[in-house]
């Protein structure tokens, strides 16, 4: 099974309308190029310093923005990963979810994942949990392109999450991100390659890039990595789409020739004596 997947690298701002317009043009471009799936980065519809504005643009899952992207998927006959958006929480007016939504080409929502690891790094000026509520459900689901797993940005630093997704059958794992430049230049590609190699999966990682506002710079290097750990494509220092062919027969070959998943001894990995 082969499919053509694209990853959008963009520099989102605090202007929702501009971000929506840019996203639409990328979907049109991907459809024209015959892509089967297009993945956007984390918080691709809003990055800004105004928390009140963040709450104003947030929606519930039946909101107009979601319906718009469902319409795009159906109209352009392409699956779309809304890398993440801010989702309203009915019983919590102080916080939001950081949520990925996967829409299939029929315009139906296949999966919803709420980021479970929140980036609290006071020394770098970030405290995500101040305004975001952590999710609690790990997501793997079946799609026409294969069995897919979802994660978001800071999740990347927790290998046990990716092992769990793989144990549930994930063949392609998405990592939409707004990885900060300071840590990204040291860790972004290294961690992504490690997750691909140790789990023998495709990694699709659309990232934010550039300066969003004073004090907030994202690393870029949006990338697709194969199950052997080879970087198939990587974005330049600019907004663009990178794309690659996902070949599940190659994934099966890698796992057959080096069956590390079958060699695991998980009963020895617990803390119980």
The catalytic site residues sit at 42, 115, 153
Long-range contact set of residues 140-143: C-beta below 8 Å, sequence gap at least 24: 140/165, 140/168, 140/169, 140/170, 141/102, 141/110, 141/111, 143/79, 143/102, 143/104, 143/110
Distance (Å, rounded) from C-alpha 4 to C-alpha 21?
A: 23
Strands 120-121 and 126-127: antiparallel
Q: Identify which of 249, 227, 180, 143 has the alpha carbon closest to the alpha carbon of residue 41.
A: 180
- 3-state class (DSSP) for residue 78: coil
Does residue 252 sit in helix, strand or coil? helix
159 CB-near residues (< 8 Å, 6+ apart) = 194, 195, 198
The H or E element containing residue 217 is strand 216-219
Beta strand pairing status for 37-39 and 2-9? parallel
């Amino acid at each position: 099974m082969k499919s053509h997947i694209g990853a959008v690298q963009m520099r989102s701002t605090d202007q929702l309308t501009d971000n929506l317009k840019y996203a639409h043009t990328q979907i049109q471009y991907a459809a024209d190029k015959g892509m089967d799936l297009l993945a956007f980065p984390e918080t691709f519809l809003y990055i800004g310093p105004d928390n009140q504005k963040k709450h104003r643009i947030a929606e519930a899952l039946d909101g107009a923005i979601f319906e718009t992207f469902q319409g795009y998927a159906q109209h352009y006959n392409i699956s779309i990963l809304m890398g993440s958006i801010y989702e309203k929480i009915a019983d919590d007016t102080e916080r939001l979810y950081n949520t990925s939504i996967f829409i299939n080409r029929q315009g139906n929502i296949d999966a919803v994942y709420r980021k479970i690891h929140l980036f609290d790094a006071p020394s770098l000026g970030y405290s995500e949990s101040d305004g975001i509520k952590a999710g609690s459900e790990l997501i793997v689901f079946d799609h026409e392109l294969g069995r897919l797993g979802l994660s978001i940005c800071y999740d990347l630093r927790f290998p046990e999450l990716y092992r769990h997704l793989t144990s549930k059958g994930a063949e392609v794992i998405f990592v939409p991100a707004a990885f900060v430049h300071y840590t990204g230049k040291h860790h972004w590609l290294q961690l992504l390659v490690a997750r691909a190699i140790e789990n023998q999966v495709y990694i699709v990682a659309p990232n934010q890039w550039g300066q969003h506002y004073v004090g907030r710079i994202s690393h870029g290097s949006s990338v697709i990595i194969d199950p052997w750990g080879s970087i198939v494509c990587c974005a330049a220092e600019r907004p663009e789409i990178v794309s690659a062919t996902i070949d599940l027969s190659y994934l099966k070959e890698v796992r057959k020739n080096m069956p590390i998943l079958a060699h695991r001894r998980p009963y020895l990995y617990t803390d119980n004596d």
